[in-house]
Chain A
Amino acid sequence: MDYPRVVLVTGACRFLGGYLTARLVQNPSIDHVIAVDAIAPSKDLKRRMGRAEFVRADIRNPFIAKVIRNSDVDTVVHAAAASYVPRSGGRATLKELNVMGAMQLFAACQKAPSVRRVVLKSTSEVYGSNPHDPVVHTEDGSSRRPPREGFARDSVDIEGYARGLGRRRPDIAVTILRLANMIGPAMDTALARYLAGPVVPTVFGHDARLQLLHEQDALGALERATMAGLAGTFNIGAAGIIMMSQAIRRAGRLALPLPTFGVGVLDSVRKATMNSEINRDQLDYFSFGRAMDTTRMRTELGFEPRWTTLEAFDDFVRGRGLTPIISPQWVSSAEVRMLAAAQRWGR
Chain B
Amino acid sequence: MAGESKAKVIPLHGNSSRTGARGSERVTASKRHPSALPKPPTGTAEEIEAVIREFEQRGAEASEPATGDLTQRIAAFADFFRKRLTGDYSVDEFGFDPQYNDAVVLPALRFFYDKWFRVEVSGLENLPDTGAGLVVANHAGTLPFDGPMLSVAVRDHHPAHRDLRLLAADIVFDMPVVGPVARKAGHTMACTADANRLLAGGELTAVFPEGYKGLGKPFRDRYKLQRFGRGGFVAAALRAKAPIIPCSIVGSEEIYPMLADVKLLARVLGVPYFPITPLFPLAGPLGLVPLPSKWHIAFGAPIDTSDYDETAADDPMVTFEITDQVRETIQQTLFTLLGRRRNTFLG
Nearest chain B CB to A313's CB is how many angstroms away? Answer: 9
B90 within 8 A of A: yes
A209 within 8 A of B: yes
Nearest chain A CB to B56's CB is how many angstroms away? Answer: 22
Closest to A259 in B: B176
Interface of chain B residues 148 through 205 with chain A (CB within 8 A) = 170, 173-177, 179-180, 183-184, 188-189, 191, 193-194, 197
Question: Which residues of the partner chain A approach B191 to less than 8 Å between Cβ atoms?
Answer: 134
A243 within 8 A of B: yes
Nearest chain B CB to A247's CB is how many angstroms away? Answer: 7
B22 within 8 A of A: no
Nearest chain B CB to A337's CB is how many angstroms away? Answer: 9
Nearest chain B CB to A332's CB is how many angstroms away? Answer: 6
Partner of B176, one of A206, A245, A310: A206
A169 within 8 A of B: no
A243 touches B79 (CB 8 A): no
B78 touches A338 (CB 8 A): yes
A131 touches B86 (CB 8 A): no
Question: Which residues of the partner chain A approach B340 to less than 8 Å between Cβ atoms?
Answer: none
B67 within 8 A of A: yes
Partner of B179, one of A206, A242, A291: A206
B95 within 8 A of A: yes
Q: Can you spell out 10 A-B residue pairs with CB atoms less than 8 angstroms apart?
A: A135-B189, A209-B183, A240-B93, A241-B95, A250-B88, A310-B90, A326-B86, A332-B1, A339-B74, A343-B10
B75 within 8 A of A: yes
A28 within 8 A of B: no
B339 within 8 A of A: no
Interface of chain A residues 100 through 153 with chain B (CB within 8 A) = 131-132, 134-136, 138, 141
A136 touches B85 (CB 8 A): no
B325 within 8 A of A: no
A347 within 8 A of B: yes
B53 within 8 A of A: no
A335 within 8 A of B: yes
A335 touches B78 (CB 8 A): yes
Given A205-B177, A339-B10, A342-B71, A331 and B85 contact (CB-CB distance below 8 Å) = yes
Q: How far is the CA of A282 from the CA of B300 in the complex (A)?
A: 47
Most buried by B among A141, A326, A339: A339
Partner of A132, one of B4, B70, B95, B170: B170
**Proximity string of chain B (268-295) to chain A, C-beta cutoff 8 Å, 1 when within and 0 when not:** 0000000000000000000000000000
Q: How far is the CA of A328 from the CA of B92 in the complex (A)?
A: 24
Q: How far is the CA of A216 from the CA of B92 in the complex (A)?
A: 23
Question: Which residues of the partner chain B approach A342 to less than 8 Å between Cβ atoms?
Answer: 70-71, 74-75
Q: How far is the CA of A326 from the CA of B86 in the complex (A)?
A: 8
Nearest chain A CB to B221's CB is how many angstroms away? Answer: 29
Question: Which residues of the partner chain A approach B176 to less than 8 Å between Cβ atoms?
Answer: 204-206
Nearest chain B CB to A54's CB is how many angstroms away? Answer: 41
Most buried by A among B10, B90, B188: B90
Question: Which residues of the partner chain B approach A336 to less than 8 Å between Cβ atoms?
Answer: 8
B84 within 8 A of A: yes
Question: Which residues of the partner chain A approach B170 to less than 8 Å between Cβ atoms?
Answer: 131-132
Most buried by A among B75, B88, B173, B180: B180
Question: Which residues of the partner chain B approach A250 to less than 8 Å between Cβ atoms?
Answer: 86-88
B70 touches A346 (CB 8 A): yes
**Proximity string of chain A (207-218) to chain B, C-beta cutoff 8 Å, 1 when within and 0 when not:** 101010000000
Residues of A within 8 A of B (CB): 131-132, 134-136, 138, 141, 204-207, 209, 211, 240-243, 245-250, 291, 310, 326, 328-329, 331-332, 334-336, 338-339, 342-343, 346-347
Q: How far is the CA of A326 from the CA of B82 in the complex (A)?
A: 11
B85 touches A135 (CB 8 A): no
B81 touches A335 (CB 8 A): yes
Closest to B188 in A: A135
Nearest chain B CB to A213's CB is how many angstroms away? Answer: 15
Question: Which residues of the partner chain B approach A136 to less than 8 Å between Cβ atoms?
Answer: 93, 193, 197
Interface of chain B residues 210 through 267 with chain A (CB within 8 A) = none
B128 within 8 A of A: no
Given A328-B86, A332-B4, A338-B74, A241 and B93 contact (CB-CB distance below 8 Å) = yes
Question: Which residues of the partner chain B approach A334 to less than 8 Å between Cβ atoms?
Answer: 82
Closest to B12 in A: A343
B120 within 8 A of A: no
Given A240-B90, A246-B87, A250-B87, A135 and B95 contact (CB-CB distance below 8 Å) = yes
Interface of chain B residues 43 through 81 with chain A (CB within 8 A) = 67-68, 70-71, 74-75, 78-79, 81
B89 within 8 A of A: yes
Partner of B82, one of A132, A141, A209, A332: A332
Q: How far is the CA of A97 from the CA of B5 in the complex (A)?
A: 49
Question: Which residues of the partner chain A approach B92 to less than 8 Å between Cβ atoms?
Answer: 241
Nearest chain B CB to A288's CB is how many angstroms away? Answer: 9
Nearest chain A CB to B47's CB is how many angstroms away? Answer: 37
B145 within 8 A of A: no
Question: Which residues of the partner chain A approach B93 to less than 8 Å between Cβ atoms?
Answer: 135-136, 209, 211, 240-241, 291
Q: Can you name 18 extra interface pairs (CB under 8 A) apart from A134-B191, A207-B184, A332-B1?
A: A131-B170, A131-B174, A132-B170, A135-B94, A135-B194, A138-B193, A141-B193, A205-B179, A246-B87, A249-B86, A250-B86, A250-B87, A326-B85, A328-B86, A331-B81, A335-B78, A335-B81, A346-B70
Partner of B180, one of A205, A247, A248, A310: A205
Question: Which residues of the partner chain B approach A207 to less than 8 Å between Cβ atoms?
Answer: 95, 180, 183-184
Closest to B71 in A: A346
B91 within 8 A of A: yes
B25 within 8 A of A: no
Q: How far is the CA of A243 from the CA of B84 in the complex (A)?
A: 12
Nearest chain A CB to B85's CB is how many angstroms away? Answer: 5
Most buried by A among B89, B91, B175, B189: B91
Question: Which residues of the partner chain B approach A329 to less than 8 Å between Cβ atoms?
Answer: 1
Nearest chain A CB to B155's CB is how many angstroms away? Answer: 21
Given A206-B180, A207-B180, A342-B71, A246 and B85 contact (CB-CB distance below 8 Å) = no
